[in-house]
Amino acid sequence: MKRIAVLTSGGDSPGMNAAVRAVVRKGIHEGLEVFGIYQGYAGLMSNQIKKLELGSVGDIIHRGGTILYTARSEEFKKDEAQYQAIKNLRDLQIDGLVVIGGDGSYRGAAKLTEKGFPCIGLPGTIDNDIPGTDYTIGFDTALNTIVDSIDKIRDTATSHDRTFIIEVMGRHAGDLALYSGLSVGAETILIPERKFELAEVVEKLNKGIERGKKHSIIVLAEGVCSANEFAATLKENYSLETRITVLGHIQRGGSPTGFDRVLASRLGARAVELLLEGKAGKAVGMQKQQIVEHNFQDILKEKDPLPEGVYTLSQQLSI
């Protein structure tokens, strides 16, 4: 293997740049030529491919977003599009590809590998919803952005004796809501992985108010419902007045934390090693501080488990 390529795909996440940098620098360190594919799979189909040098990835380790840009492409789900992508890579004598993205991006990489083109996946998503890794690249930064925002909301919530509903991202996963809720001492954390009774949520809020709590924070994962819907339900059924904040895409931006930079650097370097070892169809992750790899097929059929101990603790501490 003499030439490899790297792309970012799906929703961006802070630390993707650090991962791109690690792939490029480790690749060059190992004597490879490394190419960047712009705009994810869409750019792969339309040949937006450029050779990257050491300097191409200078001054990016601290930047959010992705210098390679990213995209979502329905077209790429078709077999013909995948064969075209492989042809474009082969025409440039590229023999291996590192895909940085979420589970959708892994599905694309698995398809290319099945069709004979070796791919390695790195978990780039704020959602922390990829099995086979304790953390995904970007989760820690997004978590800290949420915590910082809720700390601010808490100031005004206390001044006004208010109940706030904060809607956080995560798609179908509750990790961002769970970890941020625990971090800010939220009164209530609502996640799609756990059922809840509205009456119990309200009872708990009322008990807190009776005990003299000056504010209540409800952290709501977007996978449960929207903050708007939840606020309307509380008002309609319990005449409970709330304020809502939808944090939105602010959660996806910003300079990656040290944790995300280290994670991205370690995973990126390992991806290159795997390609050099002739391995393909692997998703790289970190479990118990060790860098590990799993087959795409295994990762894609599993469901990422919720850290049960963290959930139980959040319930015990938010009385």
Residues of the shown chain interacting with ligand F6P in the complex, contacts defined by CB under 6 A: 11, 102, 125-127, 169-171, 222, 252
In whole angstroms, how close is the CB of 121 to ligand ADP at the nearest point?
9
Residue 126 binds which of ligand F6P, ligand ADP, none (CB < 5-8 A, kind-dependent): ligand F6P
- Beta strand pairing status for 49-52 and 33-37? antiparallel
Distances (CA, A) of 173 to 37, 144, 147, 169, 292: 29, 17, 18, 8, 22
Q: Which does 169 bind (CB under 5 to 8 A by kind): ligand F6P, ligand ADP, none?
A: ligand F6P
Q: Which spans in the chain are helix H?
A: 16-29, 40-45, 79-91, 103-114, 139-160, 175-184, 198-210, 227-238, 258-276, 296-301, 308-317
Within residues 50-109, the interface with ligand ADP by CB under 6 A covers 72-73, 76-77, 101-105, 107-108
**Residue number, 39 or 144, with CB nearest to ligand ADP:** 39
Residue with the two structure tokens 């003299």: 212
Active site residue 127: yes
Q: Is 111 among the residues that bind ligand ADP (CB under 6 A)? A: yes
d(CA 260, CA 65): 13
Q: Is 23 annotated as a binding residue?
A: yes
Cβ-based nearer residue to ligand ADP, 130 or 150: 130
Alpha-carbon gap, residue 159 to 162, rounded angstroms: 8
**Annotated binding-site residue? 21:** yes
Is residue 9 involved in binding ligand ADP (CB under 6 A)?
A: yes
Rounded Cα gap, residues 5 and 26, in angstroms: 12
User: Which residue is catalytic, options 127, 129, 175, 304?
Assistant: 127
The annotation status of 82 as a binding-site residue, yes or no, is: no
| AA letter at 285 | G
Residue 98, marked binder: no
Percentage helix, strand, coil for the chain under 3-state DSSP, each rounded to 5: 45, 20, 35
Could you tell me which residues are beta bridge partners of residue 99?
A: 7, 121
| φ, ψ of residue 73 in degrees (nearest 5) | -135, 115
105 is in an annotated binding site: yes
Nearer to ligand F6P, 34 or 166 (CB): 166
Contacted by 170, from ligand ADP, ligand F6P, none: CB < 5 to 8 Å by type: ligand F6P
Q: Does 125 bind ligand ADP (CB under 6 A)?
A: yes
Given ligand F6P, ligand ADP, none, residue 194, with its beta carbon under 5 to 8 Å by kind, binds none
Q: Which residues pair with 291 in a beta bridge?
A: 286
Q: Is 10 in the site for ligand ADP (CB under 6 A)?
A: yes
3-state SS of 133-153 is CCCCECHHHHHHHHHHHHHHH
Is the CB of residue 131 less than 8 Å from the CB of residue 40? Answer: no
Q: Is 222 flagged in the annotation as binding?
A: yes
Min separation Cβ 57 and ligand ADP, Å: 21
Looking at beta carbons only, is 48 or 136 nearer to ligand F6P? 136
User: Contact positions toward ligand ADP, by CB under 6 A?
Assistant: 9-11, 41, 72-73, 76-77, 101-105, 107-108, 111, 125
Residues designated as active site: 127
Binding residues for Mg(2+): 103
Annotated binding-site members: 11, 21-25, 72-73, 102-105, 125-127, 154, 162, 169-171, 185-187, 211, 213-215, 222, 243, 249-252
